Amino acid sequence: MDGESSCPKSNCPLSNRSAGPENKGRPVGQNRPLLPKQVWALRARLELAGNLRDLVLFNLAIDSKLRGCDLVRLKVADLASGTSVHDRASVIQSKTQRPVQFEVSEGTRDSISKWLFAPEMHGGAYLFPSRFQHGPHVSTRQYARLVRDWVSAIGLDPSGYGTHSLRRTKAAQIYRKTGNLRAVQLLLGHSKVDSTVRYLGVELEDALSIAEKIEI
């Protein structure tokens, strides 16, 4: 199944097992995707703050459309060879053990290139090394807390947003602009298109709006 409530705990060793996912008890559909203007506002805020790690984490969350547990476990080798950052990457999803590919936009590549030489990296294997001693990389719980801080900083109610908001953001825009569910299914790494329909919250009104734009 492609249920999106959480990542498998056995594959997320750094998550807080007692706390559970940040959206537990709340349908994933209530994690709203960000609008383009909100993405730009958040990115600009992180750039102005000089918070390079969070900028890379945010940019990759939008581009990759990965679940939180897969995002925080990204390794430098997944995104770069030497000083060259790839424009596409592929990882095995923890939840499904299926590969998924994603694009890495130019802005994201630029931020990664700078981050790789930041003192905080210490030449580590993980792209987002932990600042604490309990694990090698940022935990899913830390990532969820960062997302809440980010959306709050641009005036959004954090109760309506979570890590799945970032996973859904670009996917929702692709669907709105193309109506291509199959493409979104592949990008999200879903095995069934029905899962993509549920995840995006596609309704009859969406389908009719797409149909009205087509003339034959």
Residue 46 confidence class, pLDDT cut points 50, 70, 90: very high
Q: Is 183 or 83 the better-scoring residue by pLDDT?
A: 183
The per-residue pLDDT of the chain, averaged, comes to: 85
In angstroms, rounded to a whole number, what is the distance separating the alpha carbons of residues 21 and 5?
8
Q: What is the pLDDT of residues 52-80, one digit of tens each?
A: 999 999 999 999 999 999 999 999 999 99
Has residue 95 got a pLDDT over 60?
Answer: yes
In angstroms, rounded to a whole number, what is the distance separating the alpha carbons of residues 113 and 84?
8
In angstroms, rounded to a whole number, what is the distance separating the alpha carbons of residues 66 and 60?
9
Residue 18 confidence class, pLDDT cut points 50, 70, 90: very low
Q: What 8-state DSSP symbol labels residue 104?
A: -
Q: What is the pLDDT of residue 11?
A: 44
Q: What is the pLDDT of residue 76?
A: 96
Q: Which of 122, 48, 89, 93 is nearest to 191 (CA)?
A: 93
Has residue 151 got a pLDDT over 90?
Answer: yes
Q: Is 82 or 79 the better-scoring residue by pLDDT?
A: 79
User: What tokens were used for 2?
Assistant: 């492609």
Query: Cα separations (Å) of 162 from 44, 52, 62, 146, 176?
Result: 19, 21, 13, 9, 21
Dihedral sign (CA 167, 168, 169, 174): positive
In angstroms, rounded to a whole number, what is the distance separating the alpha carbons of residues 122 and 120?
6
* Whether the Cβ atoms of residue 22 and residue 144 lie closer than 8 Å to each other: yes
Q: What is the pLDDT of residue 209?
A: 72
Q: Which helix (H) or strand (E) holds 152?
A: helix 140-153
Q: Rounded to 5, what percent of the chain is helix, strand, coil?
A: 50, 10, 40
Whether this model's pTM surpasses 0.85: no
Q: Is 194 or 204 the better-scoring residue by pLDDT?
A: 194
| Look-up of token digits 């970032």 | 166
